[in-house]
Amino acid sequence: MTASDAGTAPWTGRLTGGSGVSVLVATAIVVADMIGVGVFTSLGFQVKDIPSGFSIIALWTVGGIVALCGVFSYSELGAMFPRSSGEYNFLGRAYHPAFGFLAGWVSATVGFAAPVALAAMAFGEYAKSVLPDLPPIPLAIGVVWLVSIVQLTGVRHSSTFQLISTILKVVLIVAFLIAGFVIGTPQPISFAPHTGDLAHIVSAPFAIGLVFVMYSFSGWNAATYIIGEMNMPQQNLPRALLAGTLIVLVLYVALNAVFLYATPISALAGQLDVASVAGSAIFGALGGRIVGAMICVGLISSISAMMWIGPRVMMTMGEDIPALRVFSKRSVRGAPAYAILFQLAVANLLLFTRSFEAVLDFIQFALLFCSFFTVAGVIKLRITDPDLPRPYRAWGYPFTPLIFLLVTAFMMYYLLTERPVQSLSGMLVVLAGLLIYAVFRRRPVAAASSHNRE
């Protein structure tokens, strides 16, 4: 098969040759993309204001339920429009191609490169607990290059690497959970509901905590970026999103439970690295190294997932926009090489300049904005295009989309009040994409008109 043979079919973006991505690998991508460092760093700030085992578990359970509400809506859109690229595809079909371009503009430039850089930097920092003499920046750059090389070898090798690294991540987390409950020293904390728990659950700290819990759950939509490469996407996309999110929900609840079970709340309160604190309580002096190694392995699978799905946005945009056509080209083995190299270059730039945290601050509001209108698009299309084929219909409609929209609206309100300059500046950068869209689309419109005249 030549490089041209390994291209993508118009509109669907599905590989025309070779086997597709299985539901198991798609599930692994969801799990890998979701489990980063958030769950290992959030609890210390939550227990300061919510010193209740039941309320903390409820907080993470509610976050998982909201993520599932998003899963149901994205599954309906993905089954209707089975094309890779996530919000770029969905917003373009539900509203207007310009809206889709804005989402693609963010995702293809920094929307994935910044989280890749952040995860790589975290890898470098946690690796210091295992290899204290190695500086974090070279380690961060090295792991991004390693994963990118795997992605460039093609879909088959990427699938194998993603599956193995994600299974290893889950196995290590499960081993940590078992060790915590078996050899950890039980603390005087109860996970049964008590009288004061209702007050905690309806409190402002619970609502604010939910914002950061939802950030830990972000990535539940990961498989929508590779729909076009999946086997039987209309059936397997909903399965992958649901299975992946449920697995992460169980792991998140269990991790927070073991942190509280094996570590005094006083030792956790206000601490950023709660996993290391809990690891020391469970394993003693070696706890920090054990937890550091576990998180490092997990971050490799996260970086792999983002280096896989991110370039698919640029690839799909290249299929639609002649000025970006180079990014749509695939290698013989099906990898969008130029798109992968572009994301690699941006991630390296962010690492060298140490600007990834600032970029993430700027784009958080814009990413939530795109997710909000994507789920709202399910409601819009049910009203404006009720006869469109829907191989999968969102479970619990209209309540599940509305729950997701309410929580996402609260998160956007929180960002606007807490980080107004970053949020509004980020939206201005996104809206500037309209000018780029106008320039890029001018050529295809003229070409189409010429073709029609012929």
| Structure confidence at residue 441 (pLDDT) | 75
Per residue in 45-76, pLDDT (tens digit) is 999 999 999 999 999 999 999 999 999 999 99
Per-residue pLDDT of 318-366, as tens digits, reads: 999 998 999 999 998 889 999 999 999 999 999 999 888 889 888 999 9
Confidence band for 454, pLDDT divided at 50, 70 and 90: very low
Say if domain 23-433 classifies as CATH 1.20.1740.10: yes
User: If DSSP codes are grouped into helix, strand and coil, which group holds residue 341?
Assistant: helix
Indicate whether 36 pLDDT > 60: yes
CA distance 318 to 298: 31
- For 125, the token pair is 């920092």
CB 292 within 8 A of CB 130: yes
- Tell me how far apart the alpha carbons of residues 315 and 330 are, in angstroms, rounded to a whole number: 9
Domain range list for the chain: 23-433
Q: Which two tokens stand for residue 146?
A: 């390693």
Q: What is the pLDDT of residues 222-276, one digit of tens each?
A: 999 999 999 999 999 999 999 999 999 999 999 999 999 999 999 999 998 899 9
What pLDDT, on the 0 to 100 scale, is given for residue 275?
93
pLDDT band at 448 (very low <50, low <70, confident <90, very high): very low
d(CA 260, CA 191): 9
**pLDDT tens for residues 133-162?**
888 999 999 999 999 999 999 999 999 999
As a whole number, the mean pLDDT across the chain is 90
pTM of the model: 0.91
Residue 14 has pLDDT above 50, yes or no: no
CA–CA distance, 122 with 61 (Å, rounded to integer): 26
CA distances from 159 to 29, 77, 169, 178, 453 (A): 9, 24, 15, 28, 45
* Sequence-ordered list of residues with C-beta below 8 angstroms from that of 117, at least 6 positions apart, any chain: 140, 144, 347, 350, 351, 356
